[in-house]
Amino acid sequence: MSTQTAETSATNDEQHLIEVLRETLTYAREREYRGWDYGDGMSSRLLRMLPVDNRWLNIFVQELAKRPPINVRPLLLVEQRRNYKGTSLFAMANLNTARLLGEIEWNSTDRIDMESVVKNGEAADTTEQVDYKREAYQLNEWLIANRSVGYSGFCGGHNHKIQHIDGKGLPNDPDIVSTSYAVKSLLSARGLDPMYPSIAQTAEQFIVEDLDYRTVNDGAVINYHLNHSSDIYTINAGAIGARMLIDLYAYFEKESYRRRAQQIFDHIVGLQTDLGGWMYRDPSSSSHLSMDNHHNGFVIESLLRYRAVTGSDRYEETIDRALSFYRETLFDPSGAPNWDENKTYPRDIHASAQGILVFTYAGDLDFARRILAWTLDQLYAGNGRFYYRKHRLYTTRITLMRWCQAWMAYAISEYLTALHEPRSSVPTSR
């Protein structure tokens, strides 16, 4: 293939991906970013009409909504809502799209014209001329307006009940994963409103006080969410919390953010298995998950972020082992995601999206593109709609707004950003 032909092919490929990205955002925007979610069964109006509140009945309905190969949520009258983390991902995807299409300059700190913006999540413009910058602003404003209140700092959580074996999660109970992505979104959108970073900064106190940041023998740990048992540690959630602190450090250059993040990472590094991956929880017996795909991706992405921001090689060996395990065990050479270290199926859309992100941040754009190509071939329905999972004998043709749409929009936008404007992932400081 000649150089000119290769360049033309690459350009056409990028244009195709931009079109898929725009269609994916259109699908979400036309539905006001509302949809079904992974664990939304308890939002069933049928369940809520029953005169009893029984833990096992709640779990039955929750799993009934989640597990069938067809979407039974309409039959259960499950409500379609905005997801807090999904809104953060859509906000960042819209902002990236604005940059890719030239609405704003890379790393621009220009203010948006406030008077031209419809605030607080009102219906968005669905015409062909989409103002992606405005969409990003509206979504970030929604994150602020719908944050969890009554806590030590900025935070957020899922907006539906979740029944656990040992308790019940209530709407807007904050957690570190949802909070971290909202903080990341506000920091990335700092050019839209100069107050965003100062709001995001208060999330440190949420980690320290509400999530019980505490030192242990080899570092530090935090809880995943409120009322979390101190006997169980969710490893990827700790890593995402550390990444949030590093995101804050990248902007504010406050040494305590870096130090606390490093202490959390030090403990997590000590939990790496001989294979190079991480179990979902410590102790591993406390979860049915083992070294599943997308949760390992969260840990690796967080460590890559620490390296990118600090320039430190403190975790270099850990990252190398983890990336090798991630690529060779949790993905097929074709780019198809495996479920965990032992099982191939189901191949999950979230694992695809996280793989695209990890290899993009690791600088392996070829493998990121391979994962993206497999996903478009196997889990893309067209017209901006992605499917949930591929099993050995069938595909679960359900579209979940956060799990499918938000993650893929964000992953594609980050991949295209790396192609279009290779740059450090470190935000500019004040």
3-state SS of 310-336 is HCCCCCHHHHHHHHHHHHHHCECCCCC
Same domain, 48 and 156: no
Q: Residue 10: exposed, middle, or buried by beta-carbon count in 10 A (0-12, 13-18, 19+)?
A: exposed
Per-residue confidence (pLDDT) for residue 6, from 0 to 100:
58
| Element spanning 220, H or E | strand 219-221
Instruction: Give the pLDDT of the chain (430 residues) as one tens digit per residue.
Output: 565 565 666 678 899 999 999 999 999 999 999 999 998 999 999 999 999 889 999 999 999 999 999 999 999 999 999 999 999 999 999 999 999 998 876 555 444 443 444 343 343 443 468 999 999 999 999 999 999 999 999 999 988 888 887 778 888 899 999 999 999 999 999 999 999 999 999 999 999 999 999 999 999 999 999 877 888 999 999 999 999 999 999 999 999 999 999 999 999 999 999 999 999 999 999 999 999 999 999 999 999 999 999 999 999 999 999 999 999 999 999 999 999 999 999 999 999 999 999 999 999 999 999 999 999 999 999 999 999 999 999 999 999 999 999 999 999 999 999 998 755 444 444 5
Strands (E) across 344-425 are located at 347-348, 380-382, 385-386, 389-390, 395-396
In this structure, are 67 and 87 located in the same domain?
Answer: no
Residue 31 shares a structural domain with residue 59 = no
Does some domain include residue 123? Answer: no
Pairwise CA distance, residues 90 & 94, whole Å: 6
- Are 329 and 277 in contact, with CB atoms under 8 Å apart? yes
Question: Is residue 125 assigned to a domain?
Answer: no
Contact status, residue 283 vs residue 275, Cβ threshold 8 Å: no
**Cβ neighbour number for residue 108 with a 10 Å cutoff:** 13
Q: Which of 92, 322, 79 is nearest to 188 (CA)?
A: 92
Residue 249, amino acid: Y
Residue 196 inside a domain? The answer is yes
Radius of gyration of the chain from its Cα atoms, rounded to whole angstroms: 21
pLDDT of residue 117: 40
Total number of domains constituting the chain: 2
Residue with tokens 């935000």: 427
SS3 at position 389: strand
Sequence-distant (6+) residues with CB within 8 A of 217 are none
The confidence score (pLDDT) of residue 367 equals 98
Report the alpha-carbon distance of residue 147 to residue 40 in Å, rounded: 19
- Per the structure, the complete domain to which residue 60 belongs is given by 41-78
Is 120 part of any domain?
Answer: no
- Is residue 415 domain-shared with residue 271, that is, in the same domain? yes
CATH number for the domain harbouring residue 330: 1.50.10.10
* 65 shares its domain with 147: no
Name the nearest CA neighbour of 162 among 235, 75, 63, 34.
63
Q: What backbone torsions phi and psi does residue 85 show, to the nearest 5 degrees?
A: -65, -40
Residues 60 and 173 in one domain: no
DSSP string, 159-170: SS-EEETTEEEP
Is the domain of 161 the same as that of 52? no
Co-location of 138 and 51 in the same domain: no
C-alpha of 103 from chain center: 24
Sign of CA dihedral 50, 56, 61, 62: positive
Same domain (yes/no): 236, 168:
yes
Residue 174: cis peptide before it, omega within 30 degrees of 0: no
**Same structural domain for residues 275 and 325?**
yes
Residue 124 lies in a domain: no
Q: How far apart are CA 81 and CA 78, in angstroms?
A: 9
Q: Which of 228, 309, 225, 229 is nearest to 265 (CA)?
A: 309
As a whole number of angstroms, the distance between CA 4 and CA 398 comes to 41
Name the one residue in this structure whose structure tokens are 């109006």: 45
Domain presence at residue 2: yes
List Cβ neighbours of 102 (8 Å cut-off, separation of 6 or more).
Answer: none
Strand-pair partners of 167: 164
The widest CA-to-CA distance across the chain, in whole angstroms, is 71
Do the domain assignments include residue 136? yes
Residue 282 lies in a domain: yes
Question: What is the structure's pLDDT at 114?
Answer: 36
2 and 72, same domain (yes or no): no
Verify that 176 and 63 share a domain, yes or no: no
CB atoms within 10 A of CB 61: 21
